[in-house]
Chain A
């Protein structure tokens, strides 16, 4: 079935270092991929969404590239900030069909230290 895998449960790094959070997926169709970010005691909110024309989405210094050949949508940022500390979810959406479901990975907690 369709699924999303985030291999790291916790990533800890020092401010200023690059960030890479892994996301791979399995899907029968060509899905849309998303990154959601959830800060402490807040609701998840959209960070990035894949484009159909293979453009690389960017927001708040984060970017992600959809690689269909490797079924990946890794989240990257060149320089981590303390405010980036949060829980990050990769998610997959099956727009085709009528299920309307969004499938989430287990999430990766990013802790940025001074």
Chain B
């Protein structure tokens, strides 16, 4: 079974603070993704990466940065957290020749 783990699972941050969400996969997958989930908006792609040391902007990248230091690790960084970034964040990985995503268990972020 493919394994994607996220940390922290839950976090409360203050407005203007820095938040880092981490993701680790043991699937040997090339592709990794960060999605944001909000009621009424479904899953929206923030950033993704298909190789270490390279990241790509997704559909809603503003206010977020991403880092892929190795094939296994992919981080999402909020330099100045805002109230509107309160959401559940999912990391996912997928292999080269398959469309199937394997999701982590999610990180619930609350910005106060």
User: A-side interface residues toward B, CB under 8 Å?
Assistant: 9, 32, 34, 36, 42-46, 49, 89, 93, 95, 98-107
User: B-side interface residues toward A, CB under 8 Å?
Assistant: 31, 33, 35, 40-45, 48, 50, 56, 58, 90, 94, 97, 99-101, 103-106
For A101, give its contact among B45, B90, B103 (CB under 8 Å): B45
Check if B42 sits within 8 Å of A104, measured CB to CB.
yes
Q: Which residues of B contact A36 (CB under 8 A)?
A: 101
For A104, give its contact among B31, B43, B50 (CB under 8 Å): B43
B58 to chain A, nearest CB (A): 7
For A98, give its contact among B35, B42, B50 (CB under 8 Å): B50
| Complex-state Cα separation, A47 to B42, whole angstroms | 17
Q: List 13 A-B contacts (CB under 8 A).
A: A9-B40, A32-B99, A43-B90, A43-B106, A46-B101, A89-B42, A95-B97, A101-B45, A101-B48, A101-B58, A106-B41, A106-B42, A107-B42
Q: Lowest 4 A-B CB distances belong to which pairs?
A: A93-B99, A43-B103, A106-B42, A104-B43
Check if B105 sits within 8 Å of A102, measured CB to CB.
no
| Complex-state Cα separation, A55 to B103, whole angstroms | 26
Q: Which of A36, A49, A102, A106: most chain B CB closer than 10 A?
A: A102
Q: Which residues of A contact B103 (CB under 8 A)?
A: 43-45
